[in-house]
Structure 1
Amino acid sequence: MLPVQQLGAGDHAFVSYGCDHAARDIVTTFAWMGLAQQEKVVIFAPPQLKEEEVWARIDVPGPLVADARRRGQLAVSSMRTLIHPQDRFTAARQWQRIEEETDQALDEGYRGLRTYIDMHWVPDLSADVDVMMHRETHADHLFADRPYTEICAYDTRWFAPDVLEAMHHAHPVSLLSHTGALHTESSPHGLRLVGEADVATREQFNAALRKTLAGKAQAGQVSVDMSRLVFLSAACAEDLVQLSCDASSPEHVRVLCRPQQAHLLRRVGAEHLSHLVLSEVSC
């Protein structure tokens, strides 16, 4: 599980959405991250959207998107266009074209290619869902040692639950459904946090910490992995320090965090707690 901001070259990601706002949130962030990293970005939008509607979703005031659009660094396309002149979808044809597009992006001087593929192309091309699923489960070669990143976005209002479940498990990476979300995941050793810990998710953040620290108190040591947080507020950092001092807390709390998070935690008192160990990692 990753936030969209942490996707990198070689990632093949699944995301689902049940409202158009969530889809807009992910595709906009994905595109902007690609531009910032000097990658070429192609958006395969829902076929029912007009091209200008797609541009309106990812554009914000300022010259960056307009310049990237003019240069061809950011483009809107369709699966029909990608597989042309074929009019019937085959995995082999799509794989061939993606490899060609990746090579072209490198030839043009970009660091790689990233694509956002809305899976509404399946009904648009009258493609067999089983053919689509075969493509998804046999596409590893597109990402092996290649600077290619892909999001496959599934509308939960159209795809059957069993298909969504199968595709969720088939992709090496699953994305949080929207930016600003916090995902908490318990493990035998402690807690893993993914996304954003801020004023909107502070209650969820604290509830997960309390449950983990209390449940692992008898174990003597617990691990809190914060390395997949893209934002940690000062208030949430203070909460972590305070909760680790409670009587029910384990004797040792090991926090896996990125350097910026470690700096913040030290600023709010972690450096004065001998039982709170900060282990810096890079992601």
Structure 2
Amino acid sequence: MITYEGTDRRVQDIDHGDHLCLAFTDDAEQRRVVTAYLTSGLHRGERVMHFADRLTPQEVLAWLTVSGTDPRPALEKGQLVVTTADDSYLAAGPFDADGMVAALQQEVRKSLAAGYTGFRVSGEMGWALRQVSGADRLADYETKVSQVFAGQRASAVCQYDARRFTPDQLDHLHGCHPGAVEPEPLYHDSTLRIVPSFRGGRCSLRVVGSVDHRTTGALADALETALAWPGDIQVDMQALEFIDLSGVRVLARAAARLEGDRRLHVVELAPLLCQVIGMVGFDETPALVVTAQEVLA
């Protein structure tokens, strides 16, 4: 199996050749990304398909309507197709990974031959959690889609509900995609971005920029959101440029609120900042685990 180093990409930046994973933790995030992805394709003159599973096709179409895009003209001329997982992934009964890849290749050819500027597809992948024959080949299918769509006028977004898939499953399937859809930032200004992401199959906070007295409140609010997630919390500090004492104190206080054996993992923190945490004694907070960046010799 090919494992990718993947990068996050905003939904508005998705382009031809992309095959991205969307791991979401709430319905609003799924709705935002799927609506933007489908409507963008229609406005670009692409042919668009969506395969629903937990949702119904009618619910997905209602998202488009509420967003200001009337789906009826696109449906009538065949530019838009919204159907179910049972009528797409499972049309043959068991899941046929190779057959589904071939079907997508055919849809790409048909779309371009019909004069569309490209083809895009999105599907809910929760059907794989049923007792479906062939579902064990899902990772193989995802890898092949990446290979087929690379360099083509086609794109795909595969939707995984992180409340239903285990962290190990998400980590494995995320690795079959060249990248992921970046969730909406929890905070964004000229000096700081705090973005949910998936690391090791678990929802994480990615902190980019600087945390000081002006933005410690934003960090505290983001951690408050993260406290509601199941399991341990990860805060990715690889892109952190600076954090002052008040920001470190916010991390320690959030860790102190965790119950049971839950932990707050601050990862990829600059070694010097790790030393600062040790000097002020915050590393003695039992639930706070700090991991430094590796320093290349």
Tell me how far 1:93 sits from its aligned partner.
Answer: 0.5
Q: Which runs of 5+ in 2 are unaligned?
A: 1-7, 188-192, 197-205, 210-214, 220-236, 245-297
Using the alignment, how far apart are the partners of 1:51 and 1:137 within structure 2?
A: 26
- Kept in 2, the 8 Å contact 1:41–1:113? The answer is yes
* Matching residue of 2:282: none
* 1:77 counterpart SS class: strand
* Matching residue of 1:17: 24
- Report how many residues are paired: 201
Letter in 1 for 2:151: D
Identity of matched residues, %: 26
Gap change, CA 1:62 and 1:18, over 3 Å in 2: closer
* Matching residue of 1:35: 42
**1:101 pairs with one of 107, 116, 120:** 107
Using the alignment, how far apart are the partners of 2:16 and 2:186 within structure 1?
A: 23
Q: Deviations over 1:224-273 (max 9, x none)?
A: xxxxxxxxxxxxxxxxxxxxxxxxxxxxxxxxxxxxxxxxxxxxxxxxxx
**2:9 pairs with one of 2, 24, 28:** 2
Tell me how far 1:50 sits from its aligned partner.
Answer: 2.7
1:176 and 2:191 correspond: no
- Superposition pairs of residues 127-146 of structure 1, within 5 angstroms: 127-146=133-152
Tell me how far 1:40 sits from its aligned partner.
Answer: 0.8
Tell me how far 1:5 sits from its aligned partner.
Answer: 0.6
Gap change, CA 1:110 and 1:52, over 3 Å in 2: same
* Matching residue of 2:203: none
Which runs of at least 4 in structure 1 moved beyond 6 Å after TM superposition?
Answer: 191-194
Tell me how far 1:137 sits from its aligned partner.
Answer: 2.3
Tell me how far 1:176 sits from its aligned partner.
Answer: 1.4
Point out the structure with the larger helix share: 1
* Matching residue of 1:147: 153
Tell me how far 1:82 sits from its aligned partner.
Answer: 2.6
Using the alignment, how far apart are the partners of 2:9 and 2:146 within structure 1?
A: 19
- Superposition pairs of residues 122-271 of structure 1, within 5 angstroms: 122-124=128-130, 126-178=132-184, 182=193, 212=241
Greater shift in the superposed pair: 162-171 or 124-133: 124-133
- Kept in 1, the 8 Å contact 2:56–2:84? The answer is no
Tell me how far 1:118 sits from its aligned partner.
Answer: 0.8
**2:74 pairs with one of 68, 78, 82:** 68
Using the alignment, how far apart are the partners of 2:208 and 2:73 within structure 1?
A: 36
TM-score, normalised on structure 2?
0.58
Letter in 1 for 2:71: V
- Kept in 2, the 8 Å contact 1:39–1:111? The answer is yes
Q: Which runs of 5+ in 1 are unaligned?
A: 186-190, 195-199, 216-283
Tell me how far 1:19 sits from its aligned partner.
Answer: 1.7
Gap change, CA 1:85 and 1:61, over 3 Å in 2: closer
Tell me how far 1:15 sits from its aligned partner.
Answer: 1.0
1:58 and 2:64 correspond: yes
* 2:111 counterpart SS class: helix
Gap change, CA 1:179 and 1:73, over 3 Å in 2: farther
Gap change, CA 1:174 and 1:22, over 3 Å in 2: same
Q: Deviations over 1:20-79 (max 9, x none)?
A: 221111100001110121101111112x33322221122236564332222221220223
1:44 and 2:51 correspond: yes
